[in-house]
Amino acid sequence: MMVANASVPRLSAGPASLSSGVIGGLLTRQLGFHGLVMTDNLSAGAVLTDGRTLPSAVVAAINAGAGCCSGRR
């Protein structure tokens, strides 16, 4: 499953690709998805805002559940 960098106002204040509410909450708990979760381009303008760097975006995405089979860390 690829998660976009789109803003989802009722789920997250930032990009969906960095949101544990979207990845861990919506995909895993609500929809029951337990496959591989990938992000959209983490060097995109939507991600690198408010002083966020590419390395910190990568860490945020991993902490949110991307890059692994969500729910099986």
pLDDT tens for 52-72 read 999 999 999 999 999 865 444
- Return the H-helix or E-strand segment holding 39: strand 38-39
Residue 36 β-bridge partners: 69
For 29-59, what is the HEC assignment?
A: HHCCCCCECEECCCCCCCCCCCCCCHHHHHH
pLDDT confidence band for 73 (50 / 70 / 90): very low
Distance, CA of 66 to CA of 73 (rounded, Å): 10
pLDDT tens for 4-20 read 999 888 888 899 999 99
Question: Which sequence spans correspond to the domains of the chain?
Answer: 13-64
Residue 24 β-bridge partners: none
pLDDT tens for 18-57 read 999 999 899 999 999 989 999 999 999 989 998 999 999 9
- Return the H-helix or E-strand segment holding 38: strand 38-39
Give the pLDDT confidence score for residue 68 in this predicted structure: 64
Give the pLDDT confidence score for residue 69 in this predicted structure: 54
